[in-house]
A and B are shown apart, each in its own frame.
Chain A
């Protein structure tokens, strides 16, 4: 026993001194990728750590997106912040406004003299995270966009062409009715993320503004305007379709109950993140799966425009030793290389962030039909002011408000106009508060 303890103590000392001998600069990366994605992330980091001998990136999993962001903010207040933190897209407003707490990526790359070409990135991915001058503030890591998944087997049973997904909302309704009347499935469609997909992406897809000042990109004075005619028409229809049983609601936030309704073939179609592709494939055991773009209203001018992204980016926090920033710049260069991007995107279903990575994935897309739906959708047209993304403070709570008002609409206590008016009114109060906090 004593000998064993001595041996293990010696081994410990040996490993400690080995680590010191290398004298690599350590830098922390806090992230929110659990499970298989987390394992893949660690593999990518290992690839970087092995590729050079100056820096050592240490990834640590901090829980969900909100938990990771909260942990980083608390750490910053305690002056124990990591060099790099992964923040989800709705936290962008908060991070951006925190001047003094963050180092914008374009500035980091400039300071460190890293070879960095902003034009190499996909505008519809990076545009979400740039300031009004087009400077990149954070490094996109995992971005996705919502697409339509449909059950080809049910389509066939209902006498529909299994290779033609609905293009417009009119077709969504028509196909759903056919499916329900034929008894092939008991509901037409469901959706994840009412906020992200049926409100924000819906607006971008129809080139309708979500807020003033280029959807909030212009500054803290921006306000929500998503109670326009396009959104009112769509929410009103969703309510009608819910009443008719064509559409089934899957719950707030990500809509946890939506995917099971699609997997069990209760609903024939689902709109969800392109990054859920792997999960959908794994669960679609008893039927054939098809992919399509999000439906649009053909009577709304400008539709379809392009869809917007969701997911998370990497932010660099200030107040760390200089050497760590040199490492962060090197690491970002590695992360955005076509090989790493193509590997990560093929594995996860997230979008590649550079043009080169997209081209490198051509082979993968050929072998996996439908896998490029998201990429085709965000690059369908050059993003406009209405389809670049959105940026508002306190947006995590505003997403909650969108869910709540949608639930009020479904419960029949408000009509579509009333519900969306409340979203705007309540959301703007939070935005005003955020503006006051940050001025």
Chain B
């Protein structure tokens, strides 16, 4: 690593100042506010405020809705991750085997990544809309009565598809890069030894891809947990009966719609702890194994 020595003591601080200011204003200060609010009970306008210790946190752990939200978040994050990574890997392997036009396919497959989550949500909401959508019409032919407005399962499937679809592009790019880093000679050697394509994939390709897979695993879980707000907001708004009310959405709903700032702040603090944990895992454990 290259070390730069500054003569002037002030200069490095000056150079850092814009970044530090942004971090302070947009991260540290709001985070501090959230921690402070999580110990207070306050009316919406902030006129009456009292310190209640851990009551907001206790309230959350006693609340069936919050426990449900934890469960929903887990199911949602795992489903989105498995689906987006599975499909992306399949597509990447397919493209990797192509001799011609691999670049064209790569470009086309990356497009959905440029779509904003809210737009992706609306798109899938239209496709699956029980009254005017295309998919319910098709599914009716097969004999399935699709209705994500009343069916919890259908609603979950809808938000998982809408969220995973966008992320497939991102995963695909990393998998393609990962696959290209695997020396062709290894696969050829295995082929000469008589291993079929399936055996070659599971014994050679997949283990060698594992650093990429680990990295994507963390990124996708973080994505599913924290960046899918717009998808949920545009499609199900957490319903029906809280079936898709993931933790991030619940923070928004309780705080902004419900004006219950104490509980909402306590939920953000819990989320903050989860983010910190995931970040530590990524840096300590995953980062070391990933080969870029």
Contact = CB atoms under 8 A, between A and B. Distances in A.
Interface string B144-157: 00000111100000
Nearest to A406: B241
Contact of A404 (B42, B47, B241): B241
Contacts of A97: 43
B237 A260 contact: no
A370 interface: no
Given A257-B149, A436-B41, A437-B41, A264 B241 contact: no
Contacts of B48: 437-439
A101 B42 CA distance: 14
Contacts of B130: 257
Nearest to A410: B150
Interface string A251-269: 1110001001100100000
A164 B102 CA distance: 67
Interface in A288-323: none
Interface string B237-272: 101111000000000011011111011000000000
Interface string B127-158: 00111100000000000000001111000000
Contacts of B42: 437
Interface string A403-432: 111011011000000000000001000100
Given A249-B149, A437-B41, A438-B43, A404 B259 contact: no
A396 to B, nearest CB: 6
B44 interface: yes
14 contacts: A66-B257, A76-B46, A77-B46, A94-B43, A94-B44, A97-B43, A396-B259, A400-B253, A403-B241, A404-B240, A410-B150, A411-B241, A426-B65, A430-B258
Contacts of B258: 394, 396-397, 430
Nearest to A414: B241
Contacts of A261: 131
Judged by DSSP, the binding face of A is helix
A251 B149 contact: yes
Nearest to B242: A404
A411 B256 contact: no
Contact of B240 (A66, A77, A252, A426): A252
Interface string B116-134: 0000000000000111100
B240 A98 contact: no
Contacts of B259: 70, 73, 94, 394, 396
Given A252-B237, A257-B131, A396-B257, A101 B47 contact: yes
Contact of B241 (A99, A396, A408, A438): A408
A113 interface: no
A342 B59 CA distance: 49
A357 B65 CA distance: 46
B239 A403 contact: yes
Given A99-B47, A100-B47, A264-B131, 14 more contacts: A76-B45, A77-B45, A77-B46, A251-B149, A252-B240, A253-B237, A261-B131, A396-B259, A400-B253, A403-B241, A404-B240, A407-B240, A411-B150, A411-B240
Interface residues of B, number: 32
A402 B118 CA distance: 27
A161 interface: no
A397 B151 contact: no
Contacts of B237: 252-253
A146 to B, nearest CB: 20
Contacts of A249: 149-150
A80 interface: no
A439 B241 CA distance: 31
B179 to A, nearest CB: 44
B44 A98 contact: yes
B47 A98 contact: yes
A257 B152 CA distance: 17
Given A260-B132, A437-B42, A397 B241 contact: no
A174 interface: no
A433 B260 contact: yes
Interface centre among B44, B152, B253, by most chain A C-beta atoms within 10 angstroms, is B44
A73 B45 contact: yes
Interface string B42-56: 111111100000000
Contacts of B254: 397
Contacts of A396: 257-259
Nearest to A66: B257
Contacts of B46: 76-77
A397 B149 contact: no
Contacts of A66: 256-257
Contacts of A73: 44-45, 259
Contacts of A260: 131-132
Given A257-B130, A396-B258, A433-B260, A101 B241 contact: no
B43 A70 contact: no
Nearest to B258: A397
Contacts of B242: 404
Contacts of B150: 249, 407, 410-411
A70 B256 contact: yes
Contact of A101 (B45, B239, B253): B45
B239 A404 contact: yes
B237 to A, nearest CB: 7
A438 B42 CA distance: 8
Contacts of A251: 149
A407 B47 contact: no
A117 B170 CA distance: 65
Contacts of A411: 150-152, 240-241
Interface in B53-67: 59, 65
Nearest to A73: B44
A437 B46 CA distance: 10
A109 B218 CA distance: 60
Contact of B43 (A98, A253, A410): A98
A310 B188 CA distance: 72
Contacts of A264: 131
Interface centre among B43, B132, B151, B237, by most chain A C-beta atoms within 10 angstroms, is B43
Contacts of B257: 66, 70, 396-397
Nearest to B41: A437
